[in-house]
Amino acid sequence: MKWWFLFLALVLSTASKAGELDFAEALRAQDDCYRALSEVYRTEFRQGPTAQSLTLKLNCQAQLKDWPAWDQSLEQALNSPLLPPKEKQKLALNALSPLWQRQKEDQARSLYETHLSPVLGEPYPAPPEGQIDPHLAKLASSILPGTGLMMAGQWGAGFTSLGLNSLFLWAGATAFQKEQYALAALALFFEWGWYQGGRNAAEEAAVTYNHNLILKTHQIQLINWEGHF
């Protein structure tokens, strides 16, 4: 009777844990991640972490963009002796996308090489071709305003920058020719602001372009990797 009692208690405990986590999963599906995390923490405190609880916790923290807590939960999951290697590999695979979105390339590479490369038999993907040098984009906009933005595919912003710079230069030159020096100085003051802003915007546009290109390439690779699990 004693063994039957212990077996029944174990079954009921497992069912209770699964039920609580299913409720937490339902809350997350409704975008109520704060309550979902409360359920997960309560379940883990009472009965310890599981693959489901750790995955759910990571998903909620990513949805809330609570990255410090997410990093801590990921480390806890990958170092947990309770999870089999297969579950850790799935967690590592799911963690790549948030790391890429946060531009944590080195951390993503380390995670891949530690947990996924031995299974997939592939090296970490090299940076994609076609990236734009941010310094070159800034230099291009320094020579001809707007061209750096056009290099990054922002044609509308590039032509707008070119037009505004041309307009203020024309206004300043016209005012100077008419000996309206105060108006000329004011126009050139605004022109200098547009010029510097355009140069910085071109550099930022190139960085954003490269990030989106890398992210798109990685996401395609991620789909291929998911087929192994």
The pLDDT tens digits for 165-210 are 999 899 999 988 988 889 989 988 988 999 999 999 999 999 999 9
> Which of the residues in the chain have pLDDT under 70?
1-19
Q: pLDDT at position 21, please?
A: 83
Q: pLDDT at position 204, please?
A: 95
The string of pLDDT tens digits covering residues 99-120 is: 998 889 999 999 999 989 888 8
Q: pLDDT at position 8, please?
A: 34
Q: pLDDT at position 19, please?
A: 63
Q: pLDDT at position 149, please?
A: 94
Per the listing, tokens 């044609």 go with 155
- Give CA–CA dist 195/144, Å, rounded: 10
Q: pLDDT at position 29, please?
A: 85
Among left, alpha and beta (phi > 0; psi -120 to 50; other), residue 132 is: beta
